[in-house]
Amino acid sequence: MSDDLLDLAPAAEVVPIRGKKLSVSGISSKGIIALLRRFPAMSDIFTGESSASNVEKLAGLVVAIGGDLVGAIIAAGLGYPGDEKREKVAADLVAGEQFDLVEAIVRVTFPNGLAPLVEKVRAMRGDAAINPTLAKMPPVQPIKLRKRSSTSPERTSAQSTN
C-alpha cells in the first residue's frame, strides 16, 4: 500500500538568528512563480550552464537586483510569501543572517540541488541536448476538434415535453 500525500511532514530546517529559532519551510512552486513574476531576473538561477553554486548565483542576483529580492525570498522561505512587513524586516537583517537563511531556504526548497530540476524542466521543454530521445520522436500532430451541436438528444426531448 502506498503512503498518502497528507502523511508528508513539511520540509523544514531551523536557523538560529539572534537567539531566536526560525523555521525555514522552503518555497513551493507557486511561491517560486510569484517571485519570478516580481523579479524576472531571478530566472537566471534556473538557466544556463555554470559551475557556481545555487547560493553563489543567488548572491550575484542580489547584488544586481538589490535587497528587495532577499527580503522576498526569506519571507517566502519562512512561510510568508508576499508579506510586505516580513519582507521589510528580512531585507533589513545583516548580510550574514540573510545568507544563513537563504542558504537554508535553498537547501529545503531544492533538496537535490537546482541542477536536477533544471534538467527535468529542459527535458519537459524538449531540449534535445538534455533528452536525446525526444529529438528522435516525430512531432506531435495537433488534434482537430469538431464543434458540438447545441441541440443534444436530451435537450431536444426535454424541450418537446414542455
pLDDT digits (tens, 9 = 90+) for 17-35: 999 999 999 999 889 888 8
Cα of first residue to Cα of last residue in the chain, in angstroms, is 53
Q: Which domain holds residue 29?
A: 7-136
The model's pTM: 0.65
Q: Does residue 157 lie within any of the structural domains?
A: no
Question: Does pLDDT of 134 surpass 50?
Answer: no
Residue 142 lies in a domain: no
- Does 118 reside within a domain? yes
Total Cβ atoms within 10 A of residue 15:
20
Count CB neighbours of 11 within 10 A: 12
Q: What is the count of structural domains for the chain?
A: 1
pLDDT digits (tens, 9 = 90+) for 32-80: 888 888 988 777 666 655 555 656 666 666 666 667 889 999 999 999 9
- 85 lies in some domain: yes
Residue 99's pLDDT band (boundaries 50, 70, 90)? Answer: confident
What percent of the residues of the chain are helix, what percent strand, and what percent coil, each to the nearest 5?
A: 55, 5, 35
